[in-house]
Amino acid sequence: MRKAVIPVAGLGTRFLPATKATPKEMLPVVDKPAIQYVVEEAVRAGFHDLLMITGRNKRPLEDHFDRVPFLEETLEAKGDHEKLAAVRQASSLADIHFVRQGDPKGLGHAVLRARSHVGNEPFAVLLGDDLIHEQDEILQAMVRVQEETGGSVVALLEVNPAEVSAYGCADIVPSTDEDYVTVHGLVEKPDVADAPSNLAVIGRYVLHPRVFDVLEETPAGRGGEIQLTDALQTLATAEGEGSGVYGVIFRGRRFDTGDKLSYLKAVFTMALEREDLGPALKQWLDSQKTSVV
């Protein structure tokens, strides 16, 4: 499995006005744009062929992963090898392709735009808003489950019951294998009272290509959009090759960089772990605590 799809066409309205002229995926988490963490995670899991589904105003993403000869020459002339390496790293991570979504018809529609690039092989989908801590990665485990079951795999996170209506929600039964659960049903953003569980689908998927056939036939759902969750619901109850949906439960640190509080937590977590910033930031945070008391 080599191909991963990264939908990044969303408008980022939760972060206005910062995202009025800058794509939300370019907001820095310390000194790297949020999207670079996602790309690096895909590469670590073995995905070297990435397709971003973009939209209008997303040009900075293409620029970020491209070479910048003038900047590189300037840094080289100055002998600033550290910055030169940082600049070059973003453009040498993977083979990154871009296609525009065109109509903003939802996540399912965005994934369907990847069909001709992906072809007839299983592939991963990583949502650009979800930042998963490097030490807690889940994608490789999901690839193993896909290979074992032959179906499609979602990442599930236990959330507060009140929060489940912000996510796709899964109805599951344990499987004989303790590494994953079997998903019987999926609902996109259910009302809290109707939610089948408190297991939320987070932004990592490993999908069987049969999902493309299903997406072609999936009508608009929640919010008038073609929902990936609805296509997966169809696959969960289908039979034959490529049917079945399985869940890997995620127990690590995950940040939603499209949400202001979660974004700040991501910035602080990453900065506190850095040798060059962590000690001074921690000292300052501790001093703030005492001055508030």
Among 19, 54, 229, 233, the residue binding ligand G1P under the rule CB under 6 A is: 229
C-beta of 64: minimal distance to ligand G1P in Å?
21
C-beta of 274: minimal distance to ligand G1P in Å?
26
Nearer to ligand G1P, 86 or 166 (CB): 166
How many residues line the site for ligand G1P (CB under 6 A)? 13
Q: Can residue 41 be called a binding residue for ligand G1P (CB under 6 A)? A: no
C-beta of 111: minimal distance to ligand G1P in Å?
10
Nearer to ligand G1P, 153 or 201 (CB): 201
Nearer to ligand G1P, 107 or 195 (CB): 107
C-beta of 132: minimal distance to ligand G1P in Å?
11
Is 130 in a helix, a strand, or coil?
strand
Instruction: State the angle between helix axes of 69-78 and 81-92 in degrees (0 to 180), rounded to the nearest 10.
Output: 150
> Which residue is closest to ligand G1P by CB?
168
> Is residue 110 within 8 Å of residue 215, measured between CB atoms?
no
CA distance 15 to 24: 7
Among 107, 118, 159, 181, the residue binding ligand G1P under the rule CB under 6 A is: 107
Among 203, 221, 244, 247, the residue binding ligand G1P under the rule CB under 6 A is: 203
Q: Can residue 130 be called a binding residue for ligand G1P (CB under 6 A)? A: yes
Report the candidate in 51, 24, 183 with the shortest Cα–Cα distance to residue 118.
51
Is 43 in a helix, a strand, or coil?
helix
What is the CB neighbour count within 10 angstroms for residue 26?
19
Site for ligand G1P in 167-186 (CB under 6 A): 167-168
Q: Can residue 236 be called a binding residue for ligand G1P (CB under 6 A)? A: no
CA distance 150 to 134: 27
Is 39 in a helix, a strand, or coil?
helix
- The number of C-alpha atoms within 13 Å of 163 and in the hemisphere containing its C-beta is 9
Report the candidate in 141, 138, 120, 147 with the shortest Cα–Cα distance to residue 3.
120
Residues that bind ligand G1P (CB under 6 A): 107, 127, 130, 167-168, 188, 200-203, 227-229
